[in-house]
Amino acid sequence: MAKAELSKRQKNILTYIDSYMDDSGRPPTIREIGKATDISSTSVVNYNLNKLREKGYVMRDAEVSRGLRLTEKAQKLFGSVRVTLEETLVRLPLAGNIVAGEPIEVGNDAFATYDEDDAVEIAASMLPPRHDNLYALRVSGDSMIDAMVNDGDIVILRKQETANEGDMVAAWLMDDGTTTLKHFHAEKDRVRLQPANRTMDPIYVEPDALQIQGKVVMVIRQT
Amino acid sequence: MAKAELSKRQKNILTYIDSYMDDSGRPPTIREIGKATDISSTSVVNYNLNKLREKGYVMRDAEVSRGLRLTEKAQKLFGSVRVTLEETLVRLPLAGNIVAGEPIEVGNDAFATYDEDDAVEIAASMLPPRHDNLYALRVSGDSMIDAMVNDGDIVILRKQETANEGDMVAAWLMDDGTTTLKHFHAEKDRVRLQPANRTMDPIYVEPDALQIQGKVVMVIRQT
DNA sequence: GTATAGCACGAACACCTGTTCGTAGTCAAG
DNA sequence: CTTGACTACGAACAGGTGTTCGTGCTATAC
């Protein structure tokens, strides 16, 4: 990918798209952009729009008239920056993916060095009183449907290695190397892991064959 | 000017325009509207759009593709939600429960007279660009486990009576009187409702035996 | 020089899209 | 019954619109 720098032409195009949408409520066509920015050929506009897409400033819907959208990245150029108040909104790092068969890897640095784009924002009122050590993971694959968690869902976890009775935890089963989300129940000399789906049966494991990766605080599905 | 009353068809059109703009950021074309609202002729859509213009619900730019805009009058139809703190946070009414066997009842007053305590707060960044006509329901019972939705989960819906291809919708099946959450797929002369759980089979219903209550925007589970 | 990559141009194509036209059914008023 | 307003339909047209193609310019690297 090319550098993120924008040519004068591309800046003009972005500015025009933004003002056009403000005025009319719809995106401009390629020819309208060309006319406004003194570009005589539609292919040149098309070319620059694809460049802008590669650089993350616009989204395009193929073969759709006015199939243009400014991304948040582009809108930030025009000064509409969101202010986050610590008390009302909590921003969590989207630290990676959960994939069955792999333990969750969250380095400590994940809390310090995550990107703007890879963050999840949650209202503080929806979370437990303390927000420390929380992080988010995106579920990849269908391996957790028995935990009522879909491919693409976002799981918010508190990092901890122990669990209390009844907690929903992310657990790594060393026996078969899978990571699952289950309710944790300590029994006499074993651990019962109960699926969230009440129609399914629990599994039992030795405490030593279990590594708790975190406590599930919330699951979010965007459709 | 004609009466301000809207035919069912015109309401459907308005609802579709609103949801289309929320999804894609651009207005739909006449043919897209027709396809979504079961109108085979573009002239009929055009006719109803002109009626809506006369009644003050939309503005039209002649001879311009997607030259449509909803007026404020139309947007008020979809209710407005209270937005706090520079739009970083959106407060939605927790309008009630979803229970299998009952259609969802959301009076228009639900948007005006909900209690502080019965609200759900979501970061604006996690929602579609427009927050009109959103409301939240708490799922009661285990009847939606095939939609990967648990007892106690919160479902955020956009109120609408039509659905686009692939949308996750809350639908009331008149045959057996149940309310379910499924992916909506229009087929030749029937509707396929696909469970979110990919291991389960779809069900097929007559379009007339189906009443769409809203589009599912998000599912939240607090553990 | 020569090669390569990035940028730009105009033209043509195929499909999209708003508009218009003629026609027809329904319903209430005369 | 006849009239007229309202709603609805399918077809066709003219122009809009995204895409692609061949071409050529400039600057940098070899």
Residue in B with minimal Cα distance to A183: B223
pLDDT higher than 70, residue A80: no
Identify the bridge partners of residue A178 per DSSP, sorted by sequence position: A173
Q: Which residue has the higher pLDDT, A216 or B2?
A: A216
C-alpha span between B201 and B197 (Å, rounded):
9
pLDDT higher than 70, residue B210: yes
pLDDT band at B219 (very low <50, low <70, confident <90, very high): very high
What digits encode the pLDDT tens for the residues B46-94? 888 888 888 888 888 878 888 888 887 777 666 543 344 445 677 787 8
Please give the positions of B annotated as active site: 143, 182
Q: Round to a whole number and report the distance in Å from the CA of A53 to the C1' of D25.
A: 25
Q: Are A145 and A155 in contact (CB under 8 A)?
A: no
In a domain, B3, yes or no: no
In a domain, B1, yes or no: no
CB distance B26–A68 less than 8 Å? yes
E-only strand ranges, A63-145? 68-70, 89-99, 119-123, 134-140
CB distance A82–B65 less than 8 Å? no
User: Chain B residues with CB-CB distance to A under 8 A?
Assistant: 21, 24-27, 29, 61, 65-69, 84-89, 120-126, 142, 145, 148-150, 167-168, 196-199, 216-223
Judging contacts by C-beta atoms under 8 Å, the chain B residues touching residue A198 are 142, 145
Point out the domain boundary residue: A30, A48, A77.
Answer: A77
Distance from CA of B26 to the nearest CA of A (A): 5
Q: Round to a whole number and report the distance in Å from the CA of A77 to the C1' of D2.
A: 67
C-alpha span between A86 and B61 (Å, rounded):
44
At A103 the pLDDT is: 54
C-alpha span between B22 and B8 (Å, rounded):
21
> How much of chain B exceeds pLDDT 70, in percent?
82
What digits encode the pLDDT tens for the residues A118-147? 678 888 778 876 677 788 888 887 777 778
Q: Round to a whole number and report the distance in Å from the CA of A90 to the C1' of C19.
A: 52
Q: Round to a whole number and report the distance in Å from the CA of B66 to the C1' of C14.
A: 20
**Domain range holding B15?**
8-77
B70 and B129 share one domain: no
CATH number of the CATH domain containing A13: 1.10.10.10
B90 and B64 share one domain: no
Q: Which residue has the higher pLDDT, B126 or A107?
A: B126
At A219 the pLDDT is: 92
Q: Residue B51's CB: how many other CB atoms inside 10 A?
A: 17
C-alpha span between A5 and A35 (Å, rounded):
23
In a domain, B49, yes or no: yes
**Comparing A94-98, B25-29, B112-116, which segment has the lowest mean pLDDT?**
B112-116
B91 and B185 share one domain: yes
Distance from CA of B176 to the nearest CA of A (A): 22
B58 and B167 share one domain: no
How much is the mean pLDDT over chain A? 78
DSSP assignment of B20-83 = HHHHHSSPPPHHHHHHHTT---HHHHHHHHHHHHHTTSEEE-TT-TT-EEE-HHHHHHT----E
Task: Give backbone dihedrals phi and psi of B19, rounded to 5 degrees, phi first.
Answer: -70, -35
Which residues are within 8 A (CB) of A149 and not within 5 positions of it... i.e. 6 or more apart?
A139, A155, A181, A196, A219, B148
pLDDT band at A108 (very low <50, low <70, confident <90, very high): very low
pLDDT higher than 80, residue B204: yes
Q: How many domains does chain B have?
A: 2
Identify the bridge partners of residue A138 per DSSP, sorted by sequence position: A97, A154
B107 and B189 share one domain: yes
In a domain, B35, yes or no: yes
Point out the domain boundary residue: B77, B92, B127.
Answer: B77
In a domain, A82, yes or no: no
A99 and A197 share one domain: yes
C-alpha span between B111 and B78 (Å, rounded):
10
pLDDT higher than 80, residue A190: yes
At A117 the pLDDT is: 53
C-alpha span between A101 and A30 (Å, rounded):
47
CATH number of the CATH domain containing A121: 2.10.109.10
Residue in B with minimal Cα distance to A216: B223
At B194 the pLDDT is: 85
A34 and A114 share one domain: no
What digits encode the pLDDT tens for the residues A6-35? 788 888 888 888 888 877 888 998 888 888
C-alpha span between A182 and A166 (Å, rounded):
9
In a domain, B208, yes or no: yes
Per-residue CB contacts under 7 A with strand C, chain A residues 57-86: 63-65
- Which residue from A26, A126, A222 is facing B27, i.e. has the nearest CB? A26
A112 and A61 share one domain: no
A160 and A216 share one domain: yes
A138 and A45 share one domain: no
Alpha helices in chain B (DSSP H): 8-24, 30-36, 42-54, 72-77
Which residues are within 8 A (CB) of B22 and not within 5 positions of it... i.e. 6 or more apart?
B128, B129, B130, B132, B158
C-alpha span between B199 and B66 (Å, rounded):
39
C-alpha span between A98 and A101 (Å, rounded):
9
Question: Which residue type does B22 have?
Answer: D
- Which residue from A26, A122, A196 is facing B26, i.e. has the nearest CB? A26
pLDDT higher than 70, residue A64: yes
Residue in A with minimal Cα distance to B32: A64
How much is the mean pLDDT over chain B? 78
Residue in B with minimal Cα distance to A147: B148
Biggest distance spanned by C-alpha atoms of chain B:
54
B56 and B89 share one domain: no
Q: Which residue has the higher pLDDT, A89 or A201?
A: A201
CB distance A89–B89 less than 8 Å? yes
User: How far apart, in Å, are the Cα atoms of A30 and each of A3, A9, B222?
Assistant: 24, 14, 46
At B162 the pLDDT is: 79
CB distance A145–B219 less than 8 Å? no
C-alpha span between B48 and B79 (Å, rounded):
22
Point out the domain boundary residue: B30, B48, B77.
Answer: B77
Range A57-65 average pLDDT: 85
At B80 the pLDDT is: 41
Identify the bridge partners of residue B139 per DSSP, sorted by sequence position: B98
What digits encode the pLDDT tens for the residues B90-107? 778 787 777 655 555 554
